[in-house]
Amino acid sequence: MTVQALKKASASFDSARRDAAHFIDGAFTSGSTGKFWENRTPLDNSVIGRVPEGGKAEIDAACRAAKAALHGPWGKMTVVERTDILAKVADLIIARLEDFLAAECLDTGKPSSLARHLDIPRGAANFKMFADTVKNVSTETFVMPTPDGAGAINYGLRKPKGVIAVISPWNLPLLLMTWKVGPALACGNTVVVKPSEETPLTATLLGEVMNEAGVPKGVYNVVHGLGPNSAGEFLTQHPLVNGITFTGETRTGEAIMRQAALGIRQVSCELGGKNPALVFADADLDKAIEGVMRSCFANCGQVCLGTERVYVQRPIFDAFVARLKAGAESLKLGRPEDPSTTLGPLVSKEHREKVLSYYKKAAAEGATIVTGGGVPEMPAELADGAWIEPTIWTGLPDTSPIVNEEIFGPCCHIRPFDDEDEAVALANSTPYGLAASVWTENLARAHRVAAQMDVGICWVNSWFLRDLRTAFGGAKQSGIGREGGLHSLEFYTELTNVCVKL
């Protein structure tokens, strides 16, 4: 990219700098708390704009609007009318791709090549896919005998659950938020979203799209704020909320489940992970290196499904470590709009402190630092950003926090194993159970090992590949419930059985 083209792209990114606002009952507002925080980009720590912190009044107004909309035009629409509008939402996101892209890249710092192909198109697809899903749903019917011989028919009616609280994280802001808003609205619910405080922009922008697409007011609401003792907690405690869907850290999930107990609200939790990759000596090494590279370093390691533990069969251990090191060192840190950039910064300097604390711990525990381990030198204009080096360690004990706790940065620990049983035991050795990937050319081994992984998703010779109609969620402490395709309907609808005596 020429310097001039880069400057032009940067200017278009800069035009996305703006204040965020709540979106309540179809209108943008700063609310009444008078509290704001500065939204800073992790690229260089400069201010993008101000974000209002919602309080109890904003949450109450949003929940009331959502409740009223359930019984307004939205509730009266046929499924075809409703899903046509959602398909329009998807089209409008794509029509405004550059706006969403600039907002997402400013908020997160991620390379625009990634957001252009993943975050924004998947954000749009979440509306289209669930609109298609609900159009083709049927329910069960049973004919039963009765003592008088006339019989009875039982049939299921799927109804919207009501007002859904959506609480979302910062790593894939639009994608993960719409992964919940899409099915919730397709099923006829209304939503109040509390986006991550780190990434308020695309949820706000989606409000404009909702109005443009003709989504009735009150159906989609956004209240910005923090978690505990702020908009997040107030939302989960609001009596008009009928269900809570959450993506974020496992410890936050615990707090939200406690909050959901109030009034017996159903929760769906997609939580943290400490995902293993198992690389057998019979793997296609080129494919394994390419896949493990992506799973460790994509989105600067800030992917719940990412790999932070790599187990490699002993005969290929040294070769694997050398090639992953070369791969990590070939990553190019830089501004999102530069097409040669392959690695952005972490989401914030606070998060960098957390990740760096693990880098320090690894060194203190005597890890071999294969590459990285610190903060890179960046050009002066980016020096105040949340940049960090991609890092690989070997040589730590299995009890190390580095091997057991979710770090959520561009790093992994690689350890050798000798046989399949050992590999399976190591893979299952943490309290998390979100994802695993298995690299082998032996078909029987692939199926055998996959079946023993205590996880929600197990990849064989791939990573981050999934048909959106399949179930998604975590085992053990990585989540509760499954979303995706028809599985989402279990959470976003209430099933009523109607029994008709003939």
Q: Which spans of this chain sit near ligand NAD (rule: CB under 6 A)?
A: 167-171, 176, 194, 196-197, 226-228, 232-233, 236, 247-249, 252, 255-256, 259, 270-273, 304, 406, 408, 434, 474, 478-479
Q: Which is nearer to ligand NAD, 227 or 327 (CB)?
A: 227
Residues 6+ apart with CB under 8 A from 194: 54, 165, 166, 167, 168, 222, 223, 224, 225, 231, 232, 235
CB 460 within 8 A of CB 471: no
Considering the complex, what minimum distance in angstroms separates the CB of residue 473 from ligand NAD? 7
Question: What tokens does 372 get?
Answer: 């990285």
Residue 262 DSSP SS3: coil
Amino acid 235 reads: L
Query: Distance between CA 50 and CA 63 in Å, rounded?
Result: 24
- Cβ contacts of 454 within 8 Å, gap of 6 or more: 428, 433, 475, 476
* Residue closer to ligand NAD (CB basis): 385 or 474: 474
Instruction: Quote the least distance from Cβ 496 to ligand NAD, whole Å.
Output: 30
Closest distance of CB 166 from ligand NAD, Å: 9
C-beta of 14 vs 350, nearer to ligand NAD: 350
As to burial, measured by CB atoms within 10 angstroms (0-12 exposed, 13-18 middle, 19+ buried), residue 128 is buried
Q: 168 vs 440, which CB is nearer to ligand NAD?
A: 168
Distance in angstroms (rounded) separating the CA atoms of residues 466 and 305: 12
| Nearer Cβ to ligand NAD (316/457) | 457
* Nearest distance in Å: CB 372, ligand NAD: 21
Is the Cβ of residue 233 or residue 389 nearer to ligand NAD in the bound state? 233
* DSSP assignments along 307-328, one per residue: EEEEEEEGGGHHHHHHHHHHHH
What is the rounded CA–CA span in Å between residue 456 and residue 434?
Answer: 5
| Shortest distance, position 464 Cβ to ligand NAD, whole Å | 12
Find, among 22, 29, 20, 71, the residue nearest to 48 by Cα: 20
Q: Which of 104, 240, 271 is nearest to 162 (CA)?
A: 240
Q: Cβ-closest residue to ligand NAD? A: 227
* Contact in structure between 114 and 243 (CB atoms under 8 Å): no
- Least separation, in Å, of the C-beta of 237 and ligand NAD? 9
CB 471 within 8 A of CB 487: yes
Q: Which residues are catalytic?
A: 270, 304
Report the DSSP pairing between strands 36-40 and 411-417. Answer: unpaired
